[in-house]
Structure 1
Amino acid sequence: MSYPTINTASNKKAVTIKLKMEPPSTTDDKMFYKYSFKSHNCCTILDLEVDNQCGPNMILSHASCLSDRPSIDLYKYEEIPRFLKGNPYIRKGYRVNLPASHCFSSLLVWNNESINVWSHLLGFVLFSGAMFTDCLTTSTKGVTLIDCFYNILGLLCFMICMLLSAGFHLFYCHSKKACRRWLAMDLAGISIGLIGCYLPGVHLAFYCHQSWRHFYLFVVFLLGVISFGLQLHPRFLSNAWGHYRMLLYSCIAGYGVIPAVHWIYLSGGFHTDIVQIFYGKIVMIYILALLAVGFYVTKFPECLFPGKMDYIGSSHQWWHIIVVVAFMYWHNAGLIILQYRIDVPCQY
């Protein structure tokens, strides 16, 4: 079979690209066609089809070779393929089957994922800055190397969570295969983010009780193994398992109540200074978590105003923003309790 060819140029060198038009697999995809490379320079990175002909040290898709100013069309919910349909109350602003370079270009195109992407890209920058400043400010007398280790490890987990989440919302429109791959990475990021909450929290809460600290850190390790292990199930990424995924992450987050109650008991009860300082912050982080989950599950407010929250104000955007706020709040709470541990050493 012969394929149509397109002649283009990159770095003053003529390039011939062979394209094959694949027929849509479902009726929902009837208006979209996927072009696949037949060039020996084509490669796939994380299920994103890219072509290295477009210039050195750049990861670009073939479409960027064809146009210096790519045009990105936005579609309505009724027009998009089935794999992009997740929230029927978001009626427009969808990107569909974009090449990898166009996915990057869509960072500067206002669409219904713009806030989802940028909120967590900025979250990544925020936690990166926090890591830098913490390394400077926590180098005071009394802060140990292990304290810095858990502090930085928690921030790294938050940063990974932010990047994987932003990556999913940026690239899932590339193809059905890319959508599935990046969804798996996004869910892995949620697990990593939750673990990032536990690591410094357990270290600081059981600062004076090393045996219990080691025990609860081991439990956190087991929770991570269980979470990542369940993701290997073939149906874990399916829409039918959406509620099971939410139940899993809710259980991982809810588990924190057990070590929290134990910590209050070991600290001498609610009347002690450290409990008075810190237990309110534990309550607040769970309030933020419940608020975020509430937006995610109910799809409020767009469920009351379909088509009115397509670009700004939708439930998933609130979910993203609250997650960033919750992570930073928890990090700052950890710095407060760390300062308390420095000022009030353990009395063995």
Structure 2
Amino acid sequence: MPSMDMLPSISSWHVKQLVYNCLPERFSSGNYTDICVMHSVKEDLANIIAPLMMRPITRWPFFAFLGGAMFCLLVSSMCHLVSCHSQRLSFIMLRLDYAGIASLICTSFYPPVYYSFMCNPFFCNLYMGFITLLGIATTLVSLLPFFQKPQFRTFRASLFCGMGLCGIGPILHKLVLFWGEAEVLHTTGYETVMGLLYGVGAVVYACRIPERWMPGKFDIAGHSHQLFHILVVAGAYTHYRAGLVYLRWRDLRGC
């Protein structure tokens, strides 16, 4: 006979299985790749929908990350689209582009920090508050004309690097608290891949790879800025996958 403490987890699992089984199958039979893709889609939908039928773990950190990622990519697209209008508009859009990058980095911390330390309010508020303040400071530095002077270039770059490096502390702390749990190791793997994708993207962009080696060959396609955007989107998607693991883990485990 299961104890009363186990009932929420068992019920949540049964509801997820019910929702998963009720999701529609493909109308035509496909190959093995199609089946795997559909299985992944059904699993993602079940993880998001099923907890809403009971007492769900709050989703706002996950949605905040999605909002930050969409804002970053939207502002970047607008910058590329309209910056050729005039020098003044280009200057404004470039600053908004940097602010979008800051919002993506800041909100990327919300799901791992909140769901890792939701049962430890002190560390949760400490990490969340620190990265939020740093994100606000970086956004202001990106927007204010005073900080656009050449002498502040190193300062601006240091803020962005500092935001990225702030993730090392919470991740190591999470591993110490929950070492051995499969979901924690799974999310850490995703976060490591995300960091590598962002880091490689930054290096490619800063070093102008590959056009520095073959000038004129990548003016239309394949230049560093395009590769940078591809790697950023790949990193954001990797973090999205990690967020789904966090949601499933906390919905089943609780505190």
TM > 0.5 between the two?
yes
Per-residue CA deviations over 1:236-279 (Å, capped at 9, x if unaligned) read: 33566545433321211111101111111222x3x343432222
1:278 paired to 2:187? yes
Check whether the contact 2:175–2:184 (CA below 8 A) recurs between aligned residues. yes
1:210 paired to 2:121? yes
Q: 1:180: how far off?
A: 0.7
Letter in 2 for 1:342: D
1:313 paired to 2:252? no
Letter in 2 for 1:138: I
Matches within 5 A, 1:1-348: 138-141=48-51, 147-231=58-142, 233-238=144-149, 241-267=152-178, 269=179, 271-346=180-255
Which is bigger in relative contact order (C-alpha 8 A, separation at least 6)? Answer: 2
Q: CA distance change for structure 1 residues 144 and 305 in 2, over 3 Å: closer, same or farther?
A: farther
Distance 1:217 1:165 in 2: 26
Q: CA distance change for structure 1 residues 172 and 260 in 2, over 3 Å: closer, same or farther?
A: same
Check whether the contact 1:195–1:224 (CA below 8 A) recurs between aligned residues. yes
Q: How many residues align?
A: 212
Check whether the contact 2:84–2:90 (CA below 8 A) recurs between aligned residues. yes
Distance 1:140 1:276 in 2: 24
Letter in 1 for 2:96: M
Q: CA distance change for structure 1 residues 158 and 210 in 2, over 3 Å: closer, same or farther?
A: same
Check whether the contact 2:47–2:247 (CA below 8 A) recurs between aligned residues. no
Distance 1:148 1:322 in 2: 26
Check whether the contact 2:47–2:244 (CA below 8 A) recurs between aligned residues. no
Question: 5+ residue gaps in structure 2?
Answer: 1-42
Q: CA distance change for structure 1 residues 240 and 304 in 2, over 3 Å: closer, same or farther?
A: farther
Q: 1:318: how far off?
A: 0.6
Normalising by structure 1, report the TM-score. 0.56
Letter in 1 for 2:111: P
Which one has the bigger strand percentage?
A: 1
Distance 2:123 2:73 in 1: 30
Per-residue CA deviations over 1:73-110 (Å, capped at 9, x if unaligned) read: xxxxxxxxxxxxxxxxxxxxxxxxxxxxxxxxxxxxxx
Check whether the contact 2:205–2:224 (CA below 8 A) recurs between aligned residues. yes
Q: 1:282: how far off?
A: 2.1
Question: 5+ residue gaps in structure 1?
Answer: 1-132
Q: Which SS does the other structure have where 1:236 is aligned?
A: helix
Distance 2:224 2:249 in 1: 37
Which one has the bigger helix percentage?
A: 2
Per-residue CA deviations over 1:153-197 (Å, capped at 9, x if unaligned) read: 211111111110111111111111001110111111011111221
Check whether the contact 1:285–1:326 (CA below 8 A) recurs between aligned residues. yes
Structure of greater Rg: 1
Q: 1:339: how far off?
A: 0.8
Distance 2:55 2:72 in 1: 26
Aligned-residue RMSD, C-alpha: 2.4
Q: CA distance change for structure 1 residues 226 and 146 in 2, over 3 Å: closer, same or farther?
A: farther
Distance 2:56 2:250 in 1: 14
Check whether the contact 2:99–2:143 (CA below 8 A) recurs between aligned residues. no
Q: CA distance change for structure 1 residues 211 and 238 in 2, over 3 Å: closer, same or farther?
A: same
Check whether the contact 1:183–1:237 (CA below 8 A) recurs between aligned residues. no
Distance 1:234 1:166 in 2: 22
Q: CA distance change for structure 1 residues 146 and 174 in 2, over 3 Å: closer, same or farther?
A: farther
Per-residue CA deviations over 1:213-256 (Å, capped at 9, x if unaligned) read: 12211112211221123235535335665454333212111111
Per-residue CA deviations over 1:95-126 (Å, capped at 9, x if unaligned) read: xxxxxxxxxxxxxxxxxxxxxxxxxxxxxxxx
Check whether the contact 2:61–2:110 (CA below 8 A) recurs between aligned residues. yes
